[in-house]
Chains A and B, each alone.
Chain A
Amino acid sequence: MPGFSSGGVGGGVGVPASAPPRPFRPSRYVPVSAATTFLVGSTTLFFCFTCPWLSEYFSSVIPIYIAVIFLFTLANFCMATFMDPGVFPRAEEDEDKEDDFRAPLYKTVEIKGIQVRMKWCSTCRFYRPPRCSHCSVCDNCVEDFDHHCPWVNNCIGRRNYRHFFLFLLSLTTHIMNVFGFGLVYVLHHRQQLDTPHAAVTMAVMCVAGLFFVPVAGLTGFHIVLVARGRTTNEQVTGKFRGGVNPFTNGCLRNISHVLCSSQAPRYMGRWRSPQAMEVQPPFLRPPLTEAQLEAKVLDNGIQNDRHSTRSKSSLDQMESQSADAEPPPPPKPELRYPGLPRADTEESSLLTEAPPTPSMYKYRPAYNSPGRNHTALTHPNKMIRGESLDSPSPSILMSSRQPNYRSEPSSLDGATVVGGGVGVRRGGVERGEGPGGPGGTTGGLSGGMSGYSLTGRSYTSYPSSLVLSTGGSRSSSLRSAHTAHNPLATLQSEGTTDTSYKSLANQTPRNGSLSYDSLLTPSESPEFESAAHELSPQKPHALFPSATVTSQPEVVSPSTRLQGYTSPFLSAQIAQQREGQLLQGSATFSSPHRAYLRAVSPPPPSSGPPEIQHLLQHNQDSSSRASRNPSSSSSSPGVRSLEPPVSPPPRGLSLGKSHSYTGEAGPQHKPRPAGGGTVPGGGGAGGGQQAPQSTSRPVLGNHTTSKPGGGVKKVTGVGGTTYEISV
């Protein structure tokens, strides 16, 4: 029945997608051994020395009652210790192919009208379902993660929370019994306290009394959690401090869910039935609808020609870029399914969607090199696809198709990017090719593309601002920056990922920052609009300002605003820089923003970008170096794995006094969880784990290479990625 999931040896039990065996750490077993010793030892002594007298003096029901409670305690203790808490198996490679490179660190999902973020787990390679968290001790993502309990040396998650809770209740009862009846014994033997029986009873009473306080406290804490429908992790990280918990169904239902629901199945160590299904052609096909037939007529063989070459070369370059900074990303989809020429399909599909809208190309692949630093691609698209976005624009883009299978440059405006995304990525990523390679092939495609191709920086983001203001898009990238305010703002008013930018952006006017005022105008309302649409009307408005403003208004706002207009790949650090500059009223930033203003009209001045790019480059260099994630859970490189941002170096390099988002986010979160004893400590570990990780991703540096004529500026990033900005 119970699967042994804890312990240092072997993260997974005989299942393909599990962690490799980890080194044996005896220190992990100390608390659980101590707990077992105390529990069993003290109770045994009690039974041997005190119970005989009790059964004689009162009745034998008493020892039987105590024994029953003790057995119940022991059973729940064993279940809590040995039962798999609900570990998710690692995602197979195929699954995350869509989340390559530029996939966002976060995906938002709406639960009962409340936006909840799902974070990408770089170890397990999937977006963590709501309430799931990655335990660094066990190195697994656990469903409905509560905390990692050192006293049972196991995570407490969906499957064993009930046992843990019952263990606490029964242990409290048991301690009270032992203490109470021991006291009775002692009071009746006041004159014989020097006998061994009395001495032992008193010792047992001491142990019981000693443990009673923390155990009872913990029990009370969990009773409150169960009634509120929260996990320890959520409580300790303050996720629902504003009071909006999407996972609660009312007190009674919460309690019955914990105590009365059927035992959840385990995911690991399952017997996989051999795939006996034969799939043989010829295959049935559904009849094409009229619309499909029309579309077929329309796409008259534009596919497969130039794009295949471009895509392949760009793909190669992408891979080599990433090799610069971090270990190479997983192989491209074509390598996984060698049977088919992937590139063709995708390119053709790309082409079929004729003139992509400007915003689609906003987010260039540039950020590939640090691995998966970047955002927006597939996931916002996926989100949009799967989610409640009903707006027409996303659907057009979403029709994308195949891109789904590949990572796409989704961007802040996820929806819009989809179509152009793939093409953009291909064209843009080419390293150092300049206009030549991609430019040539780009031709018609990137003609449209380049117009909007964003280096992912602020300059060309004007389309994004437009898109953002339409409120339809979901930006994924800067969530990392936004994460600083993570528990509060995120859950409450995030709306789409976009909102993270917008919300930050909206803070800026309050600070009276000059240069962004005009820029803010288009996007200000959308933040609350989109939030308002999705959330309960009053709450986001009320909560969000309180959440963000009270926490770190100055930090939050400018960067968000910046992020709102910049590429999703912009890390929080760069955002901070910008923020610092903003606050200083630096002129350098004004030009890119003018660029945004001109989104509606002619191209932005070229003076702005270079300076900023230098800035960004500095930042990126340092940030990419600095952002190696120390935490164990994010061992794999990639966009999403950029976790505890080491702030000092980037800060040092950053021009202004940009606050380190991450720096602030880190300490901000760490002390909180680190507070309490075992449980809060364990929960804090989980929570603290999340918080620092939520910070920025490294941003690639940029320096412009001005290109004469053509109205297209080539920008090369640190990794050598090249993208075109229309000037």
Chain B
Amino acid sequence: MGTEMGQKRHSASLANKVFIQRDYSEGTTCKFQTKFPSELESRIERTLFEDTVKTLNNYYAEAEKIGGQSYLEGCLACATAYLIFLCVETRYEKVLKKIAKYIQEQNEKIYAPRGLLITDPIERGMRVIEISIYEDRGSSGSSSGSSSVSGSTAR
């Protein structure tokens, strides 16, 4: 598996991208599928991945929650003829910042060491979570291929 041990490579090249699609089963609220894609079988533990996606889903649910805060924000905006938006960030934007931080942290701690990178879904219009898979440059493509293949056959 970890055959890269003996080969010290200092560069990684983008090999593949996996796109985690939205889960629309509950309507148009922002939620991503937690299904583990087969390309990541050999790259990351399933639980880590699922935790990441679930946390992201929770963040988005919090952003879209209709409650006291969003109502007040709306009233204030109406009262000030929406000029308030020039000064204050909307609730959603605040949560998006939190999400960006979270993704950054996940990338640093978990994904980059495994040769993966998560792209913030907002850059894709919140339609997909893009996970880039990197390979050691020059490392045999077959090893990654076979490992992912074997991973997939195992399913």
Contacts and interface: CB of A to CB of B under 8 A. Distances in A.
A352 B149 contact: yes
Which of A92, A281, A292, A399 lies at the interface centre, i.e. has the most chain B CB atoms within 10 A of its CB? A281
A385 B37 contact: yes
A287 B134 CA distance: 18
Given A112-B25, A130-B24, A267 B125 contact: yes
A295 B147 CA distance: 9
Given A388-B25, A401-B152, A402-B148, A273 B63 contact: no
A266 B103 CA distance: 19
Contact of B9 (A261, A281, A284): A281
* Residues of A in contact with B, size category: 35 or more
A100 to B, nearest CB: 14
* Residues of B in contact with A, size category: 35 or more
B4 interface: yes
B108 A277 contact: yes
Interface in B104-141: 104, 107-108, 112-117, 122-128, 130, 134-137, 139, 141
B37 to A, nearest CB: 7
B64 A261 contact: yes
B142 A259 contact: no
Contacts of A296: 146-147, 150
A267 B42 CA distance: 33
A98 B128 CA distance: 14
A297 to B, nearest CB: 9
A88 B127 CA distance: 9
A49 interface: no
Contact of B112 (A89, A111, A279, A348): A279
B141 A345 contact: yes
Which of A98, A277, A279, A296 lies at the interface centre, i.e. has the most chain B CB atoms within 10 A of its CB? A279
Interface in B13-49: 13-19, 21-28, 33, 35, 37-39, 41-45
A235 B145 CA distance: 48
Interface in A244-295: 246-247, 249, 256-257, 259-265, 267, 270, 272-273, 275, 277-289, 291-295
A110 B141 contact: no
Contacts of B107: 277
Contacts of B155: 291, 395, 398-399
B151 A405 contact: no
Interface of B: 1-2, 4-5, 8-19, 21-28, 33, 35, 37-39, 41-45, 63-64, 66, 69-71, 73-74, 77-78, 81-82, 85-86, 90-93, 96, 100, 104, 107-108, 112-117, 122-128, 130, 134-137, 139, 141-142, 144-155
Interface of A: 1, 71-72, 74-75, 79, 88-89, 91-92, 94-95, 98, 109-112, 116, 126, 129-131, 143-144, 166, 246-247, 249, 256-257, 259-265, 267, 270, 272-273, 275, 277-289, 291-296, 298-299, 303-304, 337, 339-342, 344-346, 348-349, 352-353, 382, 385-386, 388, 395, 398-402, 404-405
Given A110-B25, A112-B27, A283-B134, 20 more contacts: A111-B24, A261-B66, A264-B92, A277-B104, A278-B112, A281-B10, A282-B8, A337-B15, A339-B15, A341-B141, A344-B141, A345-B141, A349-B148, A352-B149, A352-B153, A353-B152, A353-B153, A399-B154, A404-B18, A405-B18
